[in-house]
Amino acid sequence: MIKLVFLGRLVDLAGGGEIDIAIAGPTPLEDLLLGLPAPLAEPLADPRVKLALNGRLVPRESLVVEAGDELAFLPPVSGG
């Protein structure tokens, strides 16, 4: 089980601030996104969305999550 955390506008798309997802073993980000509904997965795949794995910002490339991980999705910040 991993925890996905959503911030900003992504909370509305996800229907809440966090969800738990069951995974069978180490899972690449691409496979994780494929298992989510398209209306949520598509915005999460945007390269402008930053990722934090267990509290640390990480690059998307070669990201693999494992049971017990927390993966946060941080949308781009808009000015105002």
Domain count, the chain: 1
Q: What pLDDT is attached to residue 76? A: 87
| Structure confidence at residue 4 (pLDDT) | 97
Q: What is the pTM of this model?
A: 0.92
Residue 58 belongs to a domain? no
| 23 domain-assigned | no
Quote the pLDDT of residue 68.
Answer: 97
Q: Indicate whether 69 belongs to any domain.
A: yes
Q: Is 38 within the bounds of a domain? A: yes
pLDDT per residue, tens digit, the chain (80 aa), is 999 999 999 999 999 999 999 999 999 999 999 999 999 999 999 999 999 999 999 999 999 999 999 999 999 876 55
Do residues 75 and 9 lie in contact, with contact meaning Cβ atoms separated by under 8 Å? Answer: yes
- Please indicate, yes or no, if residue 33 is contained in any of the structural domains: yes
Task: Print the domain residue range for 77.
Answer: 1-14+29-48+64-80
Nearest alpha carbon to residue 22 among 2, 42, 43, 47: 2
